[in-house]
Each structure stands twice: as C-alpha cells, then as structure tokens.
Amino acid sequence: MAVSIAHLGPAGTNAEAAALLYANWLEKQNEQAILCPYPSIMQSLKAAALGQVDIAVVPVENSVEGSVTTTLDALWQFDNLRIQSALILPISHALLSRAATIEPIQTIYSHPQALAQCQGWLETHLPNAQLIPTNSTTEALQHLDDDPTIGAISSQRAASLYEVPILASPINDHPDNCTCFWVLSLQPSSGGDRTSLAFSVHDIPGALVKPLQVLAESNINLSRIESRPTKKSLGDYLFFIDLEADSMEPSVQAALAELTRCTETLKVFGSYCILPIPVPDTFT
C-alpha cells in the first residue's frame, strides 16, 4: 500500500516539491508514495493528526524569514504528531505574468513568505506594485489570466506546469535562500541527532531561566529557541526549542525529566535527522 503524503497544494508549490523529494526517497527504500495536496499547512497537519494520511510534509523554517509560525502553532495543537525526519529545499522565486515586460505590472500575488523573501527586489523594480498574499505560491497563478497588469511570485517549476511566462528569475533577495521541511506522522520518531520540543512555563519571575539552566548543565546545545503566544492572554508564551541531541540518550532523557518538573507543560515532538537528499534543478 502506498504511503500517503499531505502537503500544501496545489501542484507547483515548494511544499509539493519537498513532498516529491521525500516520495522519491521512499521509493529508493522500496516504498511507494502518493501525494495529497491540501489548501493550507494547518489542514495538512490535521489530516496527518487524524490519521487521514500517513505523513505530512510541512515547512518549519526559512533561512531568510525565519520560522513558519503556522506550523509551530499547529504542532502544539496536534501534539500526537512526531517528527520523523527533515529535509532542506533550496528556494528560488520567479516573477510570472502574461505581461510582455514588468513595467505594466501593478499588482503581485504570492504567499506571504515569498513576498517577504523578494522584498528588496520588489522595492527596486516594482516599488509601486500592490502586494496581495495568497495561501500558496501556486494559488497566486489563478489571477494571471484576468489581467496582464497582474504578476505572481512562484517557482520556475510552477511556470512550467501551468505554462505561464517568466519575466524575471531568480528574484529572491538572497541566493542561498532555503527552507527546512519537517516530515511528521503518528508513528514514534526513530531518533536522530536533533530533538524538537516546546513548553509553557508558570507565570513567575525567572520561569524561563530554570529550563535553560537544566539544558546548559546537561551540556545540551540549543540550535533554536523561539517564543509564540499561547493565544490565551497578552504576554503569555510558549517556547519552541531545537536541541542538538538525541532524546533516546540517557543524559537527555534525564534532562527532559527535569524539564517536566520545571515547566507547566512540556511536549517533545521527536528526534530526527536531516535527510541527505539531492535536489534536482527542476524542483526549484
């Protein structure tokens, strides 16, 4: 039976490219895969959390714009999901339009992350264009046939799939732009050299200091720490942390046990490795 993989769709998104990379990796492990596009990251994760699909592949962090907060918020909510692995996808954005040149373009549609990652280019070449966010870079393409003064930021792969002309590429401000994607499922994580977790703390002075001290005294390095609002009240936060350690190691297990005692709620999302998957040029 094929492994079903949820991802942000429709076809042509960077999330689909990441899901395809993972599907190709599965096929090399003699497993077949089928891609299942969803209209949002939240719905992709919900499908995996409810067991409607086997796996969800979702973006978690971009090298330019930082964390994908929708993924973090959803993972706290769907805390039965576990990270199985991660993969890194280079991101290259292109300006697509039915216009002959960029001069007539007055409106540009794209995902908020893509708009932000091309902010410098847009300010230089189309400073007066109205920027309108969409659910995905591919969804932006549906506006192009209505008006030649409309452009969209998407991938070269999407341009090929939907036969839309490319006016400029690449237009992302940083050439080494890349996004980390998590592969999540209901299965226990198999271990790896990094662990992701999140916790809330009691509303007392120094509440965050103690968890960090526990990790420091256990000689566990942090590669990322980020706060997110609990959405309960202003000033109430969750903290997401990535550890450079495997949660199966006895010293890490002891540290996690101590974290349980000095946090209000602790959720460990699993230990995992970044898959060494080569990315074909056609995926960017």
Domain boundaries, the chain: 3-90+179-189+274-283, 94-168, 194-272
Taking only the tens place, the pLDDT of each residue in 32-52 is 999 999 999 999 999 999 999
CATH 3.40.190.10 matches 94-168 = yes
| CATH code for residues 194-272 | 3.30.70.260
Predicted pLDDT at 230: 81
Identify the pLDDT of residue 20: 95
Note the pLDDT tens digit of each residue in 115-127.
999 999 999 999 9
Topology of domain 3-90+179-189+274-283, CATH: D-Maltodextrin-Binding Protein; domain 2 (3.40.190)
* Beta-carbon contacts of residue 153 (< 8 Å; ≥ 6 apart): 93, 94, 95, 96, 108, 109, 110, 111, 114, 115, 118, 137, 140, 171
User: Is the alpha carbon torsion for 130, 178, 283, 21 positive or negative?
Assistant: negative
Task: Please state the pTM of the whole predicted model.
Answer: 0.92
Do 194-272 and 3-90+179-189+274-283 fall under one CATH topology? no
What's the pLDDT at 283? 62
The mean pLDDT value for 248-271 works out to 94
Average pLDDT over residues 207-231: 91
Q: What distance in Å separates the CA atoms of residue 262 and residue 258, rounded to the nearest whole number?
A: 7
| Percent of residues, the chain, with pLDDT higher than 90 | 85
Both tokens of 78, joined, read 């769907």
Residues 30, 68 contacting (CB under 8 angstroms) = no
Please say whether the beta carbons of 67 and 226 come within 8 A.
Answer: yes
